[in-house]
Amino acid sequence: MIACHCDSCRRQTGHHAAATAAPAEMIQIEGEEHLGEWRATGRAVRRFCRTCGSTLFWQAVGENMVSIMAGSLDLPTGLEISHHIFVAEKGDYYEITDDLPAFPGESKPS
Ligand SMILES: [Zn+2]
């Protein structure tokens, strides 16, 4: 699971986003008619619950992997954060205090 500190995740979730991911074909959704979509940019689509507003999914346009917001999952998730991404855009009101890898942008080596 990643913690994304990008401007878009911060504004949408109110803090940083924590998400795991799975190939689209591995995800089954009950109540798909309740999903709304929002595209802040042409780069990705975010899906949310139109009933309660919960942030649920993020998917880059043209890519098969779907990020699943960890906070939307029933407990226990069994998940752990592996690294931080887009820390260059993080909010100025907190520090990252764990020792996990942290990348200024995406987690690709620079
Ligand atoms: Zn983000």
Ligand 1 centroid, distance to 1 Cα (angstroms):
13
Q: What is the CA(33)–ligand 1 centre distance, in A?
A: 25
Q: What CATH code would you report for 18-79? A: 2.170.150.70
Ligand 1 centroid distance, CA of 76 (Å): 23
pLDDT digits (tens, 9 = 90+) for 54-68: 999 999 999 999 999
What was the pLDDT predicted at 110? Answer: 46
- Report the separation in Å between the CA atom of 11 and the middle of ligand 1, taken as the mean of its atom positions: 9
Tell me the Ramachandran region of residue 87: left when phi exceeds 0, alpha when psi lies from -120 to 50, beta otherwise. alpha
Mean pLDDT of the chain: 94
| DSSP, res 96 | -
Task: Output the pLDDT for position 108.
Answer: 66
Give 48 Cα–ligand 1 centroid separation in angstroms.
Answer: 15
Q: Tell the residue number behind the tokens 């500190």, with chain if given.
A: 5
Cα 73 to ligand 1 centre (Å): 18
